[in-house]
Amino acid sequence: MRFVDESQLAEHLAPLVERRPRVVVAGNFATPRVLLGAVDRVLPSYRLWTLNGQPGLPDRDGVVHETPFVGAGVRASERLDYIPARLSLVPRLFGRTCIPDVVLLHVAPPRDGKVSLGVEVNVLPAAVEQCRRNGGIVIAQVNPDMPWTYGDSELDLEDVDLAIEAQEPLTSPAPRSPGPVEAAIGERVAGLVADRSTLQLGIGGVPDATLASLTGRRHLRLWTEMLSDGVLRLDQAGALDPDVPLVASFLFGSPELYAWAHDNPRLRMLRTELTNDPGRIAQQPLMTSVNSALQVDLYAQANASWVRGRIYSGFGGQSDFVVGALHSTGGQAIVALPSWHPRADLSTIVPVLDGPTTSFQHSWVVTEQGAAAITPEPFSVQVRNLVHTAAHPDARAGLEQAAAEHGLLR
């Protein structure tokens, strides 16, 4: 790894100026903004590949956004190229249809011949490997504010070609407190979680509220793609098993969470191919996945990705963890959502999904109204549970009528 300034960086990128290269950059809340800005000033046209890109990414003529998981920073872009893929399979794309020309990393300062990817491991190790294999260039922004984490986050210096030094405070999502509906859902979900369970929780207010309701549990384990402040609260409450490593692939949250992650020997940051492998997930005892959805239909299918015919997010890891949890000994897959969408003034339990299916065959569908048992109940029982336990009271008559018209209650 060789340190350069911005002018030297431009010289190394000059051979790419006449092309439209693919630039893979760390996503979520770990994007190296100083480095990405420097690259954006050099390349007139390129494909910017990122996961869950946040506001502030370059979005101009000449920049095409590629992603299998759409974030708020690119959701409204006219130049969005969505790539459907389960998160566990995304690393394979780098060797097939999305070969990187440039990979931009955000790392902690070197120690003992290594750097650390800190809060964002995810698919980046696979991107680095394929980029180097195909003659691309790997560039890092070295930031003293990046926590040092262990596991697959540690890269040898020889895996990085160039680096710039730039201190940049890590960004955090806007703090939010669960509303009364989310809190009620979180309590219901927590009631399904036993001591010694292994947890995976997705992104959103409901998973956050669930974590807040689990502080009284003991010997909980963590095998997840994402880690948030709720896990920090569990650790502070003594709810986590102190003898079992906490496994995640990326994290984001408050400065307090980043400080907790720094040099934490219990935290193992692993690459996506490991954390999201359904086979490995199934090996975790009492594996309990908790994910959100936008809609659930009477066939117990969940849509967590599309709104009004437009991609909103993507598969993410939801389908990976639902399958893995269902195959775990004592495992369960929970999808949790409010029963009513206040802005659209519509039920979220619907006869048939408006968009594509993200996941299906869950153990439970939980709303603030109740917990509807799904697998392994008979189909007619699933339907009745969804209508009479999970759905909002104002929607139940219409759902019963739709179920009868579709012949679902015979």
Cα separation of 404 and 410, whole Å? Answer: 8
Longest dimension (CA), the chain: 72
Residue 365 CA to residue 371 CA, distance in Å, equals 6
Give the integer Cα–Cα distance in Å for 221 and 205. 21
> How far is the C-alpha of 388 from the C-alpha of 319, rounded, in Å?
26
Residues 6+ apart with CB under 8 A from 17: 42, 43, 44
Distant-in-sequence contacts of 2-8, Cβ < 8 A, 24+ apart? 2/161, 2/162, 2/163, 3/142, 3/162, 3/163, 3/164, 3/165, 4/162, 4/163, 4/164, 5/164, 6/38, 6/164, 8/162
Asked whether 162 and 51 are in contact (CB, 8 A), the reply is: no
Q: Which of 120, 225, 273, 400 is catalytic?
A: 225
List the structure tokens of 246: 């906490």
Annotated catalytic residue 66: no
Alpha-carbon span 201 to 178, nearest angstrom: 15
What residues have CB less than 8 Å from 342, skipping those under 6 apart?
A: none
Tokens of 116: 């650390």
Query: Distance (Å, rounded) from C-alpha 287 to C-alpha 328?
Result: 6
> Which sequence positions are flagged as catalytic?
225
